[in-house]
Each structure stands twice: as structure tokens, then as C-alpha cells.
Amino acid sequence: MTELPGGPSLPQERRLVTAVPGPKSLELAARKAAAVPSGVGTTLPVYVARAGGGVLEDVDGNSLIDFGSGIAVTNVGNSAEAVVRRAGEQLAAFTHTCFMVTPYEGYVAVAEQLNELTPGDHEKRTALFNSGAEAVENAVKIARAYTGRQAVVVFDHGYHGRTNLTMALTAKNMPYKHGFGPFAPEVYRVPVAYPYRWATGADNCAEEAAAQAVDMITKQVGAENVAAIIIEPVLGEGGFIEPAKGFLPRIAEFAKANGIVFVADEIQTGFCRTGQWFACEDEGIVPDLITSAKGIAGGLPLSAVTGRAEIMDAAHAGGLGGTYGGNPVACAAALGAVETMREQDLNAKARRIGEIMLGRLRALQDKYAGSASFSIGDVRGRGAMIAVELVKPGGKEPHPEATAAVAKACHAEGLVVLTAGTYGNVLRFLPPLVIGEDLLNEGLDILENAFAQL
């Protein structure tokens, strides 16, 4: 077999040979500014030439440690052998026929895999789409068709995409919604159990937040009008908020008791990211529908809605689909990604990454407990989906400036980190699950130095 340019031959090391970004990246950034609208932003204008394992190699020859995975997408790395091989074979066979016109096996095989991998042993169906937002939109269509109801309930700090309906479902105004309205109607937002910021304390959080959510749904919307309740089992863009234990089961029970379709948006949390195939397994929840995307296909665009057969089959024939949905190359890549996850036991790898990161980040939290310039208010997350929330000393006031400064210092040293959170004060870490432990620890060393510079 020929050597993969980003595959095994890519040295798994951090290497800085120019400033970050280097001169060739800066040249490309100037071309971007002239050719691409500024609404399409970049976290770090380092232009990538090859990537794989735990590193991104740029056009200047720098090799950066990746704690972002292209936003939780490259769980198996950016050039996993099985993904490249299967997608390559499919590419050579045919690129597209449109599954709605003349179908092919790959789509069916991915659907079968998702039906097997998602929680619950009931009969399931899966429909494939292109992006996460498109999957969420289709989950709403399916839930409305099944229930004959219109209202959709979502949560504070939730993120579900950038299309018109999913902007309405998303909580945060800037940058996702500002100036882009009017938004789709019949969307209602209720509180989520955010332990760190719950006014009466983390211990009361699950029960009180669930009671408030249920009260708002029953009094302001009417449970009998609600088609779907949609929640991320760990809220991603909202800042890796883990709803207090007990909250999700209560909401799921309420949905069940009222004939509401319970949708877990596992687009960021799915495919081994939290140390399980799907994060809702952590509390034994069996959603009616699950949306997945991001980690599903090793970097190729693919998304899915998987759920109870009787709900999924409620939409009329021809009511679901799209020209590219379940593209054969993306399906082949998805089969390669799942093969990699199974063969390398990436759930175990994710849990190991979580142990290492949480241990070192909690030590940092203690170290800076008395700092006069910032404090690490909260360290949280599961598996390879870990975050720290930065606040001003002596309270819980968000500290977005310190967060941006740490991210910037990491970038300059060749570590890709992302920020998140409604208040912009969360540093989130999403390394590829195949990252080596030496690189993981080197990345954490860089992070420690960045904190020391504050």
C-alpha cells in the first residue's frame, strides 16, 4: 500500500520552525481576507498541509499538538488508516448516485451500525444527512410528523446549529444569531441543571432545575402541544456543562409520561468522545431519537437521526432526504471510523485521556486558588471532552479576557485549544482519541505555562 501523506509517516511531535502563524500561513490568511467573507472566522490562522494522530502540520513546516479535533470531529484522527482506505476505495468505485434515486449498500450498512450502537434494544431506523444542523432539523420534522404537535423545547446554554430552525433552538445570541432573525416559531427555552452556576448550590440543582423546566413546559407551553424536547447530554458550545446527575432522567421521564419525543443531540458527545459510544449511556437513558454527526465519519461530512422505528416511520414516503444525504464516500468513511473505534477501543482511550486531564487540571485549580488575577472556578467533563471555566478571583464572575489570553499563549506555543461557553470563559479540550500520552502531557505542560504567564 502507498504511504498516506497524513498517516503513519506523519511524525507525532510538536515542532516549531517559525512563529505561529508562519509566513506562508500569513500569506494565505491575506488571500482568505480578500476571497472569503469575514463572517467565516478562524480560531487560529495556521494553514494545514497534513494532519493525523495528535498533530496538525502547517504549510510552514510547524507541527502543532491538536486539542480541538476540528471541533470534536476527528476522534479517530484526521487520516485514520481504515477511513482513508475505505473512502479511497469508494471514491474510485463511484462518488454519488443519490440514495433517493439509485441506492447503495454503504448507506444501509451505516444505518444498521447506528441502530446497533445507539442505546436501547428496541427496533430502530436511521436516516442520513450532511450536517449536524440538518440532522437536528430532521429530528424536529420527524417528531412533529409522529406527534401531530408543533412546539419544541430546548435548554439554556444549548447549541444545535446555524440554520434558521437550529438558530432558534440555539441559546447564545453572539455570534450565532445576532442580526439573523426572524427565527422559526414554536421554540421554547427552559433552564438546564448547570451545577457550577446554580444559585442554591450544586446539590439542589438537578431537582430544582427539572421542576422549573417542567413547570415552564406545563404552564407556558402545555405538555400536550410539545412535539420534542431536545437536549445535549453534555452541553458543548455552552461550555461542556454536565447537567447535574438526575436531571436528564427526570426530563426523559416527563417526556415519556406526556407523549413527547425525547431527542438527545449527541452531535458533539457521540462516537466515544465521552468514553462511551453515546454520552446518555452514562445515566442509562434511552432517547427516542438521537442526532449524531461530528465524530461519525472521521472528518467527512455525514450526520444521522436514529430512533424508534414507529417514530422514524411516521414521516410520509419522500418526506425525508436530500441530494447528498448519506453520500457513499462519507458512508465508507463512517464504516472505517467505527472499525477504528472498535479495534483501538477508543472508549477506553477517551476515559484514559479524561483521567490524565482531570488530574492535572485539578492540580492547576488548587495551585491558582489564591491567585490575584484569575481563578479556575470549575474543572469538568468526561472522557476526552474536558473543560475549565475561568472566573475573576473571589467569586464566579466570568473571566473571558483571561480565557482568551491563555488560548492565545497556547496557540503561540503550538497547541490548538478552543474556547466556549455562554460567557466566553471556558477553555475546552477535545483531543483526538488516538493522541499519544506523551503529546497529551506535552500539551498540558504548554497549558500550565500559559496559565503561569497570566
Ligand X SMILES: *Cc1c(COP(=O)(O)O)cnc(C)c1O
β-strand partners of 151? 226
- Please state the closest distance from residue 239 (CB atom) to ligand X, in A: 12
Gap between the Cα atoms of 408 and 380, Å rounded: 21
Phi, psi at residue 446, to the nearest 5°?
Answer: -65, -40
- Please state the closest distance from residue 69 (CB atom) to ligand X, in A: 12
**Binding positions for ligand X, 340-399, rule CB under 6 A:** none
- Please state the closest distance from residue 159 (CB atom) to ligand X, in A: 5
Among 133, 346, 353, 427, binds ligand X (CB under 6 A): 133
- Please state the closest distance from residue 261 (CB atom) to ligand X, in A: 17
Considering the complex, state which of residue 59 and residue 71 has its C-beta at the smaller distance from ligand X.
Answer: 71
Position 132 contacts ligand X (CB under 6 A): yes
**Binding positions for ligand X, 150-179, rule CB under 6 A:** 159-161
- Please state the closest distance from residue 237 (CB atom) to ligand X, in A: 6
Position 298 contacts ligand X (CB under 6 A): no
Name the strand (E) or helix (H) holding 205: helix 202-216
For 374, other C-beta atoms within 10 Å of its C-beta total: 20
Among 58, 156, 208, 265, binds ligand X (CB under 6 A): 265
- Please state the closest distance from residue 331 (CB atom) to ligand X, in A: 16
The string of DSSP codes covering 242-272 is -PPTTHHHHHHHHHHHTTPEEEEE-TTTTTT
Considering the complex, state which of residue 409 and residue 427 has its C-beta at the smaller distance from ligand X.
Answer: 427
Among 74, 131, 276, 403, binds ligand X (CB under 6 A): 131
Gap between the Cα atoms of 376 and 396, Å rounded: 10
Residue nearest to ligand X (CB): 132
Length in residues, the chain: 454
Position 57 contacts ligand X (CB under 6 A): no
Name the strand (E) or helix (H) holding 190: strand 187-190
Considering the complex, state which of residue 20 and residue 387 has its C-beta at the smaller distance from ligand X.
Answer: 387
Choices 38-46, 186-194, 262-270, 446-454; region in contact with ligand X by CB under 6 A: 262-270
Q: 77 and 53 in contact (C-beta within 8 Å)? A: yes
Q: Residue 150: CB partners within 8 Å, gap ≥ 6?
A: 144, 186, 225, 227
How many residues at the interface with ligand X, by CB under 6 A? 13
Among 44, 267, 361, 427, binds ligand X (CB under 6 A): 267
- Please state the closest distance from residue 216 (CB atom) to ligand X, in A: 22
Gap between the Cα atoms of 93 and 226, Å rounded: 45
- Please state the closest distance from residue 169 (CB atom) to ligand X, in A: 9
- Please state the closest distance from residue 294 (CB atom) to ligand X, in A: 6
Among 156, 208, 232, 339, binds ligand X (CB under 6 A): 232
The string of DSSP codes covering 385-445 is EEEEEEE-TTS--B-HHHHHHHHHHHHHTTEE-EEESTTS-EEEE---TT--HHHHHHHHH
Phi, psi at residue 67, to the nearest 5°?
Answer: -110, 25
Choices 6-14, 19-27, 105-113, 130-138; region in contact with ligand X by CB under 6 A: 130-138
Among 74, 268, 306, 422, binds ligand X (CB under 6 A): 268
Q: Is 434 left (phi over 0), alpha (psi -120 to 50) or beta?
A: alpha
Considering the complex, state which of residue 52 and residue 236 has its C-beta at the smaller distance from ligand X.
Answer: 236
Burial class (CB in 10 A: 0-12, 13-18, 19+), 52: buried
> Running DSSP on this structure, what letter comes out for residue 184?
P
Question: Which positions lie near ligand X, rule CB under 6 A?
Answer: 131-133, 136, 159-161, 232, 236, 265, 267-268, 293
